[in-house]
Amino acid sequence: MSHESSQGNFWAAILNRRMLVCVFTGFTSGLPLYVIYQLIPAWLRTEQIGLKEIGFFALVGIPYSWKFLWSPVMDRYSFPLLGHRRGWMLITQIGIAASIAAIGWLNPQQSLWTIASLALAMAFFSASQDVVLDAFRREYLRDDELATGNSIHVQAYRISGLIPGGLALILADYMPWHSVFFIVACFMVFGVLMTLSVADTVTADRVPRSLKSAVVEPFKEFFQRFGTLVSIEILLFMFFYKLGDNMATSLSTTFYIDLGFELKEIGIIAKNAALWPSIIGGMIAIPLMTRWGINRSLWIFGVVQVVSILGFVWLSQAGPDPSVLAIVIAFEYLGVGLGTAAFIAYIARVTSPLFAATQFALLSAVTALPRTLANSVTGIIVEQVGWTTFFWLCVLLALPGMLMLFRIAPWRGAGELKAASGTAPG
């Protein structure tokens, strides 16, 4: 194949409607999560809420870990008018926008439990939206588009963090918090527009005939396809691969505040230092994953992901140095974004298109467990050992997932695992 022909195929692969839809699914999926894990902790810290309480706020992310429990309901039942997937998309997006807008009207010193309840509702709607968007994307993309489409989805997901973690913090210096949260909520309109403009991916004959079938068949198919031992290994890998970086970034905004950075300073630096690395990461991840395949991408991007944690160690020693903060945020967005792109592509690869909603929900829920459970105690750990030792601990916790790649995604694995081929990894 000529150089011009390969270039033409590359641009044709990324400049089409399906890839544009992946931009919208990523942005809409990431926005509420960054509200929960970046904007709300920053807001609470500025209102003199303690690190311990902020750390426990990570527990509101429990719906991300348990979304597979109600994913069969979303597979079995539909809303009228918009179709099987699109109906659920619209309902969850409206719920997310409403909960974000409402939370800013509360006083953290007087209504911390009410804020936690609203954040929990936001996480429930967000996790439910992830169920339907992940299933929609798996059904919408061709098998040969999984790596590219999921890479674009992840980069848009990361870029969405610039709204709660960048723009919102800048605005907070100039307007009341309830206005900030309302403006952030308005960005969910992009998801609503996407929902109204796409066609549904599920026809009536593909909807499970009973709730029991929607619950049993996805689990049965997954364990039969890989075997019990390999299935358990895959689930353990899902838990450990991003454990270290999830913990390292869980209280990142709080960490910056404790170092002495002002909110406006964090917002401006985060916006500029994160935007371009995210775009560059998205641009290089697509051709690299296409060339290397998912297995090798998991190895290489995983190493970059571990190294990015070391940037926080450096920052904790450097203090409130804006240039160091810019470098750390830039490398974090680049490294973690690349690792997530390969990871989500791997999840899509081991998911059967016939049971996309429940299987994708189960696997991605396992990946959310460390972010929810481990992150809930990060505030306690930091108070006991300090920020520097905490980040070194995160580096150590990132290593088991890398070691499991020898089994899960060997460097010289025999080809790529097909989503429903019945072939075990390696």
Residue at 32: amino acid letter: P
Residues written for the chain: 426
Average pLDDT over residues 182-187: 97
CA 354 to chain centre: 23
Above 50 in pLDDT, residue 46?
Answer: yes
pLDDT, tens digit, for every residue of 299-345? 998 898 888 899 999 999 998 898 898 888 888 877 776 777 788 88
CA pseudo-torsion sign 238, 284, 249, 96: negative
d(CA 180, CA 197): 28
- Partners of 79 in the β-ladder: 83
Average pLDDT, the chain: 84
Torsion sign (Cα): 180, 364, 330, 41: positive
Whole-structure pTM value: 0.72
Which two tokens mark 416? 């790529």
Residue 196 vs residues 15, 31, 93, 185, 279: alpha-carbon distances, Å: 21, 19, 12, 18, 27
Query: What tokens does 318 get?
Result: 């450097």
Give the integer Cα–Cα distance in Å for 285 and 188: 26
Token couple for 19: 């890839």
Between 57 and 8, the more confident residue is 57
Instruction: Kindly write down the DSSP assignment for every residue of 128-175, as one continuous string.
Output: HHHHHHHHHHHHHS-GGGHHHHHHHHHHHHHHTTHIIIIIHHHHTTTS
The one-letter amino acid at 329: I
- Tens digits of residue pLDDT in 380-405: 888 889 999 999 999 999 999 999 99
Res. 424: pLDDT tops 80: no
CA-closest candidate to residue 41, choices 327, 384, 379 = 379
Other beta carbons within 10 angstroms of residue 341's beta carbon come to: 30
Phi/psi zone of residue 386: left (φ > 0), alpha (ψ -120 to 50 degrees), beta?
left
Which residue ranges form the domains of the chain, and what is each CATH number? Answer: 16-408 (1.20.1250.20)
Number of C-beta neighbours around residue 10 at 10 A:
14
Question: Do 338 and 151 meet the contact criterion of CB atoms below 8 Å apart?
Answer: no
**What's the pLDDT at 151?**
79
Q: Say which residues have a Cβ less than 8 Å from residue 269's Cβ, sequence separation at least 6.
A: 261, 322, 325, 326, 329
> How confident is the model at residue 356, as a pLDDT?
81
pLDDT reported for residue 375? 65
Mean pLDDT of 245-257: 83
Residue with tokens 């913990």: 247
Residue 334 makes CB contacts below 8 A (sequence gap 6+) with 277, 278, 280, 281, 304, 308
pLDDT score for 371: 67
Look at residue 63 and tell me whether its pLDDT is greater than 60.
yes
Kindly report, residue by residue over 5-22, the tens digit of the pLDDT: 445 454 555 567 888 999
Q: What are 85-132's pLDDT values in tens digits?
A: 999 999 999 999 999 999 999 998 888 999 999 999 999 999 999 999
pLDDT for residue 423 is more than 50? no
Range of weakest confidence among 247-251, 257-261, 337-341: 337-341
